[in-house]
Structure 1
């Protein structure tokens, strides 16, 4: 009987196995047919079934499964079925948990949807799985700057700052503060200081998922994971005693923040005085300010011209940067920018002596409460040096306790930058010795705000502030946009004080006269070649017509034939007046890619001020539902005469997918039409720069006072530093500039993905970095240098993992690789 049962079971299993194989075979065939029909959703379901039934087929169907997954994900994305999309990727990663391509693709979708933390996790995993996977490395490098801000490296390398905090924490613990709460722990270094000092219990909170996980690794590596309790929470969400049994010492360091405001944690429902409940480090802060003249700040926050390449900017339009502190603003907007004043291009001139703005005692709960609700107060300071009032720069002195202090003054060697409050909205900015700078100060939404910055003249005490009260009452950008919209139907006379809020880089671009003159000359050359029989700029034409029209030439009493307009497409990033410049060059129909309604309205005002009919400039993206067709032709029978592409980001990197856009653009040009720029040359040189090393990676355990932090945070270092200014970068040039690479947008046959460049050493030293920049050639005659003094672009640099000693006369070979938008440069010895 037992033999019969065994035979039956074997027969049953055999039938099941035959059925399984048959189902797998049919599903594979169905998947292939669905792929032929581009039915990716059904094909994906079939592959999913096959892989669950037959895991042994994972290797053989992997490539087809990946292709199907990516195509189906694209469809789900276009249909806004986001949850279904991520479900598919989670299923795929269960089947292929160590597939770097799927991890990278998942990260790309997450990044596009704004989930940077999560995206970085997948990019990081993809790079770990395959360090040579170029796409994943490029993606990871782009998000690493957001996830772990570069000031973490600079701060951890600041041994003076770290030692001062250690001494203050040791003093507090020795005085009896044995329980510690570290708010915004970052890498956990201050928590480890407290534990090393002898604290009995240490709690640390960190909101960033990436930094929280990094702190967990750091604390574990230093054998303190059982003694330091890490909380992935916002500090204001911590409840006592639910999360923290008791709190005696709070240590907090806000990185680049230039004013520190802490809310002392307390038991829920109780109002306990901080002094009775514990101690805060830092104990207090004194905030200082100084009025300065600074050309670099000015060109990024004030438009300093009324005409750009022949285009008049009407006085009716007032340009402001986002830092403009509008009176009555309720929205929480960071009212300042930051700069390293000791390295700012062109330097700065103090116009006043340093003055005290405020002090705050972080151990006085009542003072903190009153500060948050205090009404604004006025400050005034005499001008000691005549000049142009460009900004109030702000720094602080942190009193960690009565013995230990740290200053972030521009004159100090410190890891901190200074806060900059640009002066905007004044009718005049020239001050003389004896004048008085005035401002209103308030602490709102945990920000220090300096508002209504102006000055009183010494002669008659006249107030040189902007008296347009209606303008000052507009609070935030949304209100400004609304005001612009309501003004669009009014007459020019009623259009006084229209506001245009631009990013600081966009204002710097408007102030970049060589940029616009270069484009005007190059566009005129192309358009003249396409209409050789006419002088474009002197033609008296009817720009309303799209076809040939006859127009009377009154001086000759004859009829002139006006040609069809030439089509110009500007797909520059951000605010651009290039379409209006093109419109002044003759019978041109210009298309702008500007998306913000506020900016479109202002561009229309500028067009009207330059006597352009409304049809001269159109906003192309407002007609498009799919941004992928941004380069399509305006009419089926028309091609573009000029397509303007943004090739270089203001950060100093090449724009993503620019070569793909160039390939599409070449197909849409009329005969004789051009892409601007036509080609770009990449230049670089070898330098020795200790600053770049300190800003790019933690240099061992010495600056972190023996704690093992470097290997963990250095996982987030990137080989390329961006937003550099070579004119003030502390460095020693070791070679002359050399051409590294050519990117040709008009003739791709001249491009190569890799190139070797020989560079001769002209000064002995240690090569630590290779800064690079671009010569942007609109054509053979007209070019722009992204490193000149007028440039709105910054520069970038490849930082070597290890310094390379060199001697005069040595010759190094640089291996230059270009993949998509990423440039990698390695030194071959």
Structure 2
């Protein structure tokens, strides 16, 4: 009875359809209730069910689903349920594979967790789906700076560096070298030098996924696909014959940084000599070139020089004892992480880097250049001994009177017996110099006749210069306070050392602490605000501009002038070490809250507070009161409001902090009548400049600097339209206009802000710039 069976099947189908419709409807209602209760996990599960049962509803619930996904992902991230978080995004992208918002959000989570390559892929996909998607564009530019560091552009534009490497590789290949391994291939340019020179077998390894994929594209574009074998791995993981069929006769590499060893060249070459290279040529035997192994570069000589440099000093030593009426306690010693790394269990880079030829204010040599160390990359035993050698003591006579601020180090990279590259400050090169700031000396002044002493070693894959001291005709002063005091003073010295508290600070934090005008300006401004909030009779006890407030506040404490009134509440939520709450605390009846997180920073602020005679409860650390970062601006009691809230507005990179206007909006709601946000407004300035250096650091300029190889179109995909962390004072440039105000960002009166503003900048041409062909850019500061 086919008709009867047909009616039965249709009935079942109708029943299933009605049941599905009812389930979808119920799940949608449940999801909405869960959202109202902020149960985002359950709401997400309901929406997944709905979208799988009723795909036709995708467009209707897309935005609500996105919101639910993002909220649930935030919870999973806070609970460290990372795998569940990614599973949710994978499910979402199966349903919405072309959703640029979900792709961008997935990339943000990956970036926060350190998966930069993968994050870049999602940001790039989001941009392909919507080229006008501002968030994805900004994210991609940010991650591009991580994935392809700016020095790649500088090095590829350094035609001298490329030419010398090419000549050295050609020389050894033409002499019979048959197999080549390029360690840390980057774009693959050294591998292509070897293949073009005629090497039959060329292998290259690159750990970065982004650079590996870029090298694959470059090699293919230069008609060498299949002729160079690219490996996405560390050289330490290469096995024979699993990855390459045989030992090679040449390893070529440029895995060197400003301090020579910082990119792991010693470790990778030890492994190469033991597992990947043919045996080195014995000195007393004649081998054919193809019968032995060698390395380019063959070796290096490290040089050093003691210098005076105010800019280095400003970033690594606190030079003041008092700032804006706040006395910095003698028992607190501030030092940079580089200095702290000497006694640290962590492996921290023991130097910073500078392009000394560009450093603001210049530098002055205090000694002649001296040889620090030599290394033979073709000697396995010497490479192995580097890490186990005892520190070498070096003594260098002072030739010029000045302040001992740093030991500067550079090297000569000997590619072979004919070709070399120098990174000296006097050379025009793509490399910077390694800088070892001198810290912890009682006196930094030196003069001819003195001797600078130090210990040098290679430890944890870094060149370390430590225990820097000055020997005079009278006594020794060094960073470890080893002193030749008489026995009668030893107890006093030990007591002083026991009470000394060392506080490690970032170089930007030290530079800010050294910025006296900044703190005095804050002192004056906050003094005016506080005087307007204090009752008239009491305000007479303090100066309107805050000057002289130290004496007035201390006197008022003794006389209990403010005891009948609630204190004014000041909250500092700026990032890093900040003495602004202490400056505020000296201006009146203040209860100051600081948001510094590091225990050593809190300890230092407490010591400074005591040294400035603060009552014990004047300064508190706010994060100890707050479990949820979302309520960091709120007071302990809802009926109390803040008098002043100090916000971070500008990042050290020069960019405006993300979500600063949202934070300002919350802050305004939590202020007393007459209270203020600091800073109250920010004005951004810009200036047109001409700079060939900026051009070379931003993109590869055609095929000429890369000796005819087609690399520029591929690596220039990662160029960025905005350069951050660019110090205009160090940039060789020629101004083409006067500074112009680009934007005023008012945190107290947001209605004064405009989202768009056209700025006309008049170009001031000179005889030198009228015929200039270089592209000029707008520098904002």
When normalised by structure 2's length, the TM-score is: 0.89
Residue pair 2:270, 2:384 contacting (<8 A) in 1 also = no
Corresponding pairs, count:
740
From the superposition, tell whether residues 273 and 452 of structure 1 become closer, same or farther in structure 2 (CA, over 3 Å): farther
Q: Give the aligned partner of residue 251 of structure 1.
A: 252
Q: Give the aligned partner of residue 515 of structure 1.
A: 518
Residue pair 2:703, 2:711 contacting (<8 A) in 1 also = yes
Are 2:378 and 1:370 aligned?
no
Q: Give the aligned partner of residue 490 of structure 2.
A: none
Secondary structure of 1:686's counterpart equals: strand
CA displacement 1:247-298 (0-9 Å, x = unmatched): 2211111254331443243587899754475111101101111111100001
Offset of 1:515 from its aligned partner? 0.8
Q: Give the aligned partner of residue 460 of structure 2.
A: 445
Offset of 1:228 from its aligned partner? 2.3
Q: How does 1:808-823 map to 2 (within 5 A)?
A: none
The 10-residue stretch of structure 1 (310-319 or 67-76) with the greater mean CA deviation from structure 2: 67-76
Q: Give the aligned partner of residue 331 of structure 2.
A: 316
Q: Give the aligned partner of residue 667 of structure 2.
A: 665
Q: Give the aligned partner of residue 818 of structure 1.
A: none
Match of 1:692 among 684, 691, 694: 694
Mapped partners of 1:91, 1:597: distance in 2: 42
Offset of 1:361 from its aligned partner? 0.8
Offset of 1:193 from its aligned partner? 1.7
Q: How does 1:358-757 map to 2 (within 5 A)?
A: 358-457=373-472, 460=473, 462-466=475-479, 468=481, 495-531=498-534, 532-534=536-538, 535-536=541-542, 537=549, 538-539=551-552, 562-757=564-759
Offset of 1:92 from its aligned partner? 0.7
Mapped partners of 1:552, 1:268: distance in 2: 78
Residue pair 1:734, 1:767 contacting (<8 A) in 2 also = no
Residue pair 2:180, 2:250 contacting (<8 A) in 1 also = yes
Q: Give the aligned partner of residue 547 of structure 1.
A: none
Offset of 1:26 from its aligned partner? 4.5
From the superposition, tell whether residues 7 and 561 of structure 1 become closer, same or farther in structure 2 (CA, over 3 Å): closer
Mapped partners of 1:389, 1:273: distance in 2: 46
Secondary structure of 1:204's counterpart equals: strand
Offset of 1:88 from its aligned partner? 0.6
Q: Give the aligned partner of residue 815 of structure 1.
A: none
Mapped partners of 2:482, 2:666: distance in 1: 49
Mapped partners of 2:554, 2:348: distance in 1: 47
Secondary structure of 1:636's counterpart equals: coil
Mapped partners of 1:226, 1:46: distance in 2: 50
> Which one has a larger percent strand, Structure 1 or Structure 2?
1
Q: Give the aligned partner of residue 120 of structure 2.
A: 120
Secondary structure of 1:659's counterpart equals: helix
From the superposition, tell whether residues 493 and 388 of structure 1 become closer, same or farther in structure 2 (CA, over 3 Å): closer
From the superposition, tell whether residues 334 and 571 of structure 1 become closer, same or farther in structure 2 (CA, over 3 Å): same
Offset of 1:719 from its aligned partner? 1.2
Offset of 1:327 from its aligned partner? 5.4
CA displacement 1:359-414 (0-9 Å, x = unmatched): 11101111111222111011111111111111111111111111111111111111
Q: Give the aligned partner of residue 484 of structure 1.
A: none
The 10-residue stretch of structure 1 (268-277 or 402-411) with the greater mean CA deviation from structure 2: 268-277
Mapped partners of 1:108, 1:76: distance in 2: 14
CA displacement 1:487-542 (0-9 Å, x = unmatched): xxxx9967532111111111111110001111111111111111132223354679
Offset of 1:698 from its aligned partner? 1.4
CA displacement 1:709-746 (0-9 Å, x = unmatched): 22222222211112222223211211111111110000
Q: Give the aligned partner of residue 181 of structure 1.
A: 181
Secondary structure of 2:224's counterpart equals: coil
Q: Give the aligned partner of residue 761 of structure 2.
A: 759
Mapped partners of 1:186, 1:315: distance in 2: 49
Offset of 1:605 from its aligned partner? 1.0
Residue pair 1:352, 1:385 contacting (<8 A) in 2 also = yes
From the superposition, tell whether residues 615 and 197 of structure 1 become closer, same or farther in structure 2 (CA, over 3 Å): same
Q: How does 1:184-195 map to 2 (within 5 A)?
A: 184-195=184-195
From the superposition, tell whether residues 447 and 173 of structure 1 become closer, same or farther in structure 2 (CA, over 3 Å): same
Mapped partners of 1:584, 1:69: distance in 2: 48
Offset of 1:63 from its aligned partner? 2.2
From the superposition, tell whether residues 572 and 382 of structure 1 become closer, same or farther in structure 2 (CA, over 3 Å): same
Mapped partners of 2:554, 2:307: distance in 1: 50
Mapped partners of 1:625, 1:756: distance in 2: 43
Mapped partners of 1:444, 1:225: distance in 2: 40
Q: Give the aligned partner of residue 770 of structure 1.
A: 778
Residue pair 1:570, 1:579 contacting (<8 A) in 2 also = yes
Are 2:355 and 1:340 aligned?
yes
Mapped partners of 2:276, 2:357: distance in 1: 46
Secondary structure of 1:259's counterpart equals: coil
From the superposition, tell whether residues 5 and 223 of structure 1 become closer, same or farther in structure 2 (CA, over 3 Å): farther
Residue pair 2:24, 2:54 contacting (<8 A) in 1 also = yes
Secondary structure of 1:122's counterpart equals: helix
Offset of 1:42 from its aligned partner? 2.9
Secondary structure of 1:708's counterpart equals: coil
Mapped partners of 1:162, 1:147: distance in 2: 22
Residue pair 1:152, 1:255 contacting (<8 A) in 2 also = no
The 10-residue stretch of structure 1 (388-397 or 54-63) with the greater mean CA deviation from structure 2: 54-63
Residue pair 1:290, 1:354 contacting (<8 A) in 2 also = yes
Mapped partners of 2:586, 2:687: distance in 1: 40
Offset of 1:589 from its aligned partner? 0.7
Residue pair 2:468, 2:479 contacting (<8 A) in 1 also = no
Q: Give the aligned partner of residue 796 of structure 1.
A: none
Give 5+ residue unaligned stretches, structure 2: 283-291, 484-493, 543-548
The 10-residue stretch of structure 1 (711-720 or 396-405) with the greater mean CA deviation from structure 2: 711-720
When normalised by structure 1's length, the TM-score is: 0.84
Residue pair 2:414, 2:420 contacting (<8 A) in 1 also = yes
Mapped partners of 1:573, 1:265: distance in 2: 43
From the superposition, tell whether residues 402 and 634 of structure 1 become closer, same or farther in structure 2 (CA, over 3 Å): same
The 10-residue stretch of structure 1 (229-238 or 637-646) with the greater mean CA deviation from structure 2: 229-238
Offset of 1:652 from its aligned partner? 1.1
Secondary structure of 1:450's counterpart equals: strand
